[in-house]
Structure 1
Amino acid sequence: MVEIIGVDKGSIAEELELEVGDLLLSMNGQPVRDLLDYQIYVATEELLLEVRKKNGELWDLEFEKDLEDGLGIHLEHPAPVQCGNNCIFCFVHQLPPKMRSTLYVKDEDYRFSYLYGSYVTLTNIEESEIQRILDQRLSPLYVSVHTTAEDLRTRMLGRQGPAILPLLKRLCDGGIELHTQIVVCPGYNDGDELVRTITDLYALRPGILSLAIVPVGLTGYRERLPDLRPPTQREAVELLARVHEFQQEFLAESGSRFVYAADEFYLKAGTDFPPLEDYEDLAQVENGVGLIPLFRLEAADALAEAGALGSGTVSVITGESAFREIETFAQGLARRTGIELRVYAIRNDFFGGQVTVTGLLTGRDVVSQLMGKELGRCLMVPDVVLKEGEDVFLDDFTLPQLAEALGVSVCRVPTSPWGLLEALEALPSGQ
């Protein structure tokens, strides 16, 4: 059973007199264990609900609705199943101390993989959960494989789970589609091990839809952790060459390139990105695969639509890895709009190490590096650096605090070329 924590006005649930605090017990005779069950069972035209009212009464509610309609209820969200791994590259283990407690939570939950596209290793999965995935067709799922060599996988994850290849095959044979990833740790799962893993996973097509190759992320907080290092430029060049060979082979054989390297490898190698169409349906874009080629396309489209907006100066922050792309776009915007857009690459002193992505910037680093800088009419902060739905950085520094510290108007903007253009267009005239 799961508790109802909200009811929308004018919804089916309100007409049925469902209330906050009621418990949803079953739908069409199927027990409702969590939010996931509800989302699956609600997709039908005829429903029989068993509800325990908050006063203890048991109600059976039978009705019809359109297939795509929800009930207008909000249910308590399941707490994530905790990860029992001790991965040599775990980012949570590399966090600085004294951050908010939720950042130290290590989840490993197949339900979240289905609902939100989060990656899981499947090391903690039980037989009943595998059967649920198959029975409810929880597809696609996102699986961190890292290597198909069991001894090495156990060593890298710090825990032995079900043998990964038989488990992936069982899911694929059961009609479950998978997106997979390999976090490359030089000296562990690169070289011949990487070749073997790519080959093994490709053999499970079409069940496995895609494979992302991403570099290990390292902060400056790796005390008492295994020695790891990022790939060198030469290693990045060699890896990309091997990935491109696989892509051409797979494309000719199956019509899909299947395996894709993260943007960071191209930046590290100093080589050009493939054209956007080589990323096919951009299935791994949320994993940092194809973000820059996509940004370039959207930037060109936004510049084509941009017109004169006046004059003056505004500023925007970004991480070091994205600086060149943002700067190039900003120069184009200045020519089209007349507004100078100053781009500041913020060095990530808070996390240290090799962290250069925009999404992990903190408010205190922004303040310390922009203090005394000419920021113009306002400072634009990409929403990727802020907590979803809140104006709060990872270090709990807020946008109002940022504005006060720097003495400038601050606005949150979508992290895209269109977001920057629309933010410029929304600036009050005369500012």
Structure 2
Amino acid sequence: MKNTNSSPTHTGLTIECVLPDSIAAELEIKAGDRLLAISGKPVRDIIDYTYLSTETELTLEIVKMNGEEWEMAVERGEGEPLGLILPTPVPKRCGNTCVFCFVHQLPRGMRSPLYVKDEDYRLSFLYGNYVTLANITSSDLARIKEQRLSPLYVSVHATETAVRETLLGNTAIKPLLPIMEELASAGISMHTQVVLCPGLNDGAVLERTVADMVALHPRVASLAVVPVGLTRHRKGLPLIEPVTSAYADEFITHWQARALDIADRLGEPFLYLADEFYIKAGREFPPLETYGDLPQLENGVGMVPLFLEEGKEVLAAAESSSPLTVTVVTGESAYSCLSLFLVELGKITGVTFRTIAVANRLFGESVTVAGLVAGRDILAALADLDLGDLVLIPDVMIKEGEGVFLDDLTIDELEESLQVRTVVVESTPAGIYGALAGR
């Protein structure tokens, strides 16, 4: 170990936590120290840390909180973690002004992080965030290829440059296909999406986009088409036609058959239509097996078919329970699927379920997904109702780890207002059934 006087300023990352009994703890590294480099390579973010710390013999350069610079040689067993917890990268801001951007459609008065638009390939790799690659640089591409940052999640929207520029509200972007071709040639896998705006990127434009993505298979592993989400707060924004029930029905008729043809040609599912199309059209969902390994689940693709399949398993294993009256809250789009499951679960368990679809007053009636339901809208929907013994709130309505809704109402404040025990549950059949026994 070498101690030297540090320079006045340091780069690197501030260490948030050191795991007990870890290598870092034995080396007396502390939270608040800064990790400068590993084996001579600068550490810019947690991705560098993960990439550079794979060797069994390492040299760590640390700046202590008192300004001392330590250099430490480390030998460890294969796969033995160093024990450092580092911060999430600060997201790069998005420079696009997409005509369908949900951030631009938010009402005033919500918590400030909701108004931040990020566009960062690092968060795409780490967390599956979708990015347009509009701000990607040559050095970014070089890093992605060198560190094998795969898979990435890419918002394609349209491969025709002029249409894409219109959708992104940005004429200073490079053509997307050459970038994706470069990544594909380097072995980088990508999952892609199209936010469908009727009259803008459907029809022949979508046909070309799908063909371009198919041509990049298998490096482009999946393509999801999701309908544009429009709130009632679009003042001053370009006019976008909504996806109506009739449009969704016609869209499914054409593209579900195309998706099956493409899957036959490629030997695996590739093109996926978001659940919302089927809900809007009132159409039956395709079998769960047509969704492959559910690569677009977090994008609202396959959630309902998965729920239905898991519901069958839960019902087969369910047992009689203590008599309870339970109110289950959901969004309007999930109401039909959820209520049918709860009717059957009630027959087996003896529990009386009441399913409440919450109308979205915050964003407008066209926004029907459970994940965008606000706490005060729940209060309005449940006012003056006999809620029984227990209220169940799906976890998708709550910010993870913080217990707050989109409008900053907390789950504790909701429970206090309702005067009924209120529990956040996993948004699955097993999560609901488990809540009956306090599991």
Q: Give the alignment's TM-score, normalised by structure 2.
A: 0.95
Question: Counterpart in 2 of 1:76?
Answer: 87
Contact 1:215-1:265 within 8 A present in 2 as well: yes
Question: Counterpart in 2 of 1:24?
Answer: 35
1:157 has 2:168 as partner:
yes
Separation (CA, whole Å) in 2 of partners of 1:371 and 1:7: 47
Residue range with higher mean Cα deviation, 262-271 or 287-296: 262-271
1:348 has 2:353 as partner:
no
In structure 1, give the amino acid aligned to 2:30.
E
Separation (CA, whole Å) in 2 of partners of 1:77 and 1:325: 36
Shift of residue 167, structure 1, vs aligned partner: 0.5
Separation (CA, whole Å) in 2 of partners of 1:420 and 1:240: 31
Contact 2:359-2:365 within 8 A present in 1 as well: no
- Equivalent residue for 2:288, pick from 266, 276, 280: 276
Shift of residue 62, structure 1, vs aligned partner: 1.8
Separation (CA, whole Å) in 1 of partners of 2:192 and 2:366: 24
In structure 2, give the amino acid aligned to 1:210.
S
Question: Counterpart in 1 of 2:76?
Answer: 65
1:126 has 2:137 as partner:
yes
Residue range with higher mean Cα deviation, 351-360 or 116-125: 351-360
Question: Counterpart in 1 of 2:201?
Answer: 189
In structure 2, give the amino acid aligned to 1:6.
C
1:337 has 2:349 as partner:
yes
- Equivalent residue for 2:223, pick from 211, 216, 220: 211
Aligned-residue CA RMSD (Å): 1.2
Number of paired residues? 427
Extract structure 1 runs of 4+ deviating beyond 6 A.
Answer: none
Shift of residue 390, structure 1, vs aligned partner: 1.7
In structure 1, give the amino acid aligned to 2:161.
E
- Per-residue CA deviation, residues 201-250 of structure 1 (Å, 9 max, x unaligned), is 11011110000000000111000000012222232223223322322322
Question: Counterpart in 2 of 1:325?
Answer: 337
In structure 2, give the amino acid aligned to 1:193.
V
Q: Give the alignment's TM-score, normalised by structure 1.
A: 0.97
Question: Counterpart in 2 of 1:418?
Answer: 430
- Equivalent residue for 1:382, pick from 364, 377, 394: 394
- Equivalent residue for 2:214, pick from 202, 212, 219: 202
Separation (CA, whole Å) in 2 of partners of 1:321 and 1:289: 13
- Per-residue CA deviation, residues 269-310 of structure 1 (Å, 9 max, x unaligned), is 221111000001100011000000000111111111110112
- Per-residue CA deviation, residues 131-151 of structure 1 (Å, 9 max, x unaligned), is 111111100000000000101
Separation (CA, whole Å) in 2 of partners of 1:42 and 1:109: 23
In structure 2, give the amino acid aligned to 1:92.
V
- Equivalent residue for 1:234, pick from 243, 246, 260: 246
1:402 has 2:409 as partner:
no
Residue 307 of structure 1 aligns to a residue whose secondary structure is coil
Residue range with higher mean Cα deviation, 285-294 or 390-399: 390-399
In structure 2, the gaps of 5 or more residues are: 1-11
| Pairs within 5 Å for 1:66-145 | 66-145=77-156
Shift of residue 3, structure 1, vs aligned partner: 1.0
Separation (CA, whole Å) in 1 of partners of 2:174 and 2:96: 13
Residue range with higher mean Cα deviation, 228-237 or 278-287: 228-237
In structure 2, give the amino acid aligned to 1:58.
E
Separation (CA, whole Å) in 1 of partners of 2:97 and 2:241: 18
Question: Counterpart in 1 of 2:64?
Answer: 53
- Equivalent residue for 1:36, pick from 29, 47, 52: 47
Contact 2:224-2:271 within 8 A present in 1 as well: yes
Residue range with higher mean Cα deviation, 307-316 or 291-300: 307-316
